[in-house]
Amino acid sequence: MIKILLVDDHAVVRMGLSMLLNADPELQVVGEASEGNEGIEKAHKLKPDVVVMDLSMPHGKDGLSATVELKKQMPEVNILILTMHDDEEYLFRAIQAGASGCILKSAPHDELITAIQSVSKGDAYLHPSATKRLMEEYLGNIRNGSTDTFNLLSEREKEVLTFVAKGFSNKEIAEQLVISVKTVETHKGNLMEKLQMKTRPELVEYAVKKGLLGYGI
């Protein structure tokens, strides 16, 4: 029996997936969560074999950040990213975050079951539109140490990073991006987590190296 934890911000999606997966005698949904932090907490409590993680969860911790944190705390857990984006960039970001695979939300039900079975055994799974060459290229970069955590950041997180490096306060960033201060704090926390940095000087140096301030070192 493969124990599964569902992490998705839509209750209807979780209900549908739960009914589908529990109908298979080899699968059991042992828990559900509506955002990343809750997902991490329940993973520790329920010890699932596979976490099916939604990529985009606007409220709370997003799927990529949750995957990074969960793999750090529970390296043995297998994470299958569920996404609506059929794009190489999202694929790379998911694998870089530590996911064992990636599948489209539009995929047939039997493909989702196959994907869960694959990652539960420690195998990688990519949706059919992602080529084998893509995975081999990425794994080659991993072995050569040439991966870049910058690719883990969302476009909004990169914007926040730029403003932080320029010395803007959270309130000033919120005004510039027309979002709440709380949202700024969430983006800031997520990008620091992804980059494994804890201080503003570290972020400033990183932003300069990436040319976000108009010059590099």
CATH number of residue 181's parent domain: 1.10.10.10
Structure confidence at residue 15 (pLDDT):
95
Listed residues 91, 112, 144: the one ending a domain: 144
Structure confidence at residue 88 (pLDDT):
62
65 or 148, which is more confident: 65
Same domain, 89 and 172: no
Q: What is the pLDDT of residues 8-42, one digit of tens each?
A: 999 999 999 999 999 999 999 999 999 999 999 99
Same domain, 49 and 138: yes
CB 119 within 8 A of CB 76: no
CB 58 within 8 A of CB 32: no
| 163 within a domain of the structure (yes/no) | yes
- Output the domain CATH number for residue 20: 3.40.50.2300
- Amino acid identity, position 32: E
Same domain, 115 and 136: yes
Same domain, 104 and 186: no
Cα Dmax for the chain: 58
Same domain, 184 and 110: no
CA angle 90, 194, 171 (to 5 degrees): 105
| 215 within a domain of the structure (yes/no) | no
User: pLDDT grade, residue 217 (50/70/90)?
Assistant: very low
Same domain, 137 and 158: no
Same domain, 195 and 109: no
Domain range for 42 is 2-144
Structure confidence at residue 161 (pLDDT):
92
Same domain, 93 and 171: no
Rounded Cα distance between 3 and 210, Å, is 41
Same domain, 123 and 188: no
Listed residues 144, 163, 178: the one ending a domain: 144
| 71 within a domain of the structure (yes/no) | yes
Number of domains in the chain: 2
Q: What percent of the chain has pLDDT over 70?
A: 86
User: pLDDT grade, residue 107 (50/70/90)?
Assistant: confident
| 51 within a domain of the structure (yes/no) | yes
Structure confidence at residue 112 (pLDDT):
93
Dihedral angle sign, alpha carbons of residues 104, 9, 5, 153: positive
| 216 within a domain of the structure (yes/no) | no
Rounded to an integer, the average pLDDT of 106-126 is 88
Listed residues 96, 125, 144: the one ending a domain: 144
0.75 exceeded by pTM: no
pLDDT at 149 over 50: yes
Same domain, 139 and 172: no
Same domain, 11 and 117: yes
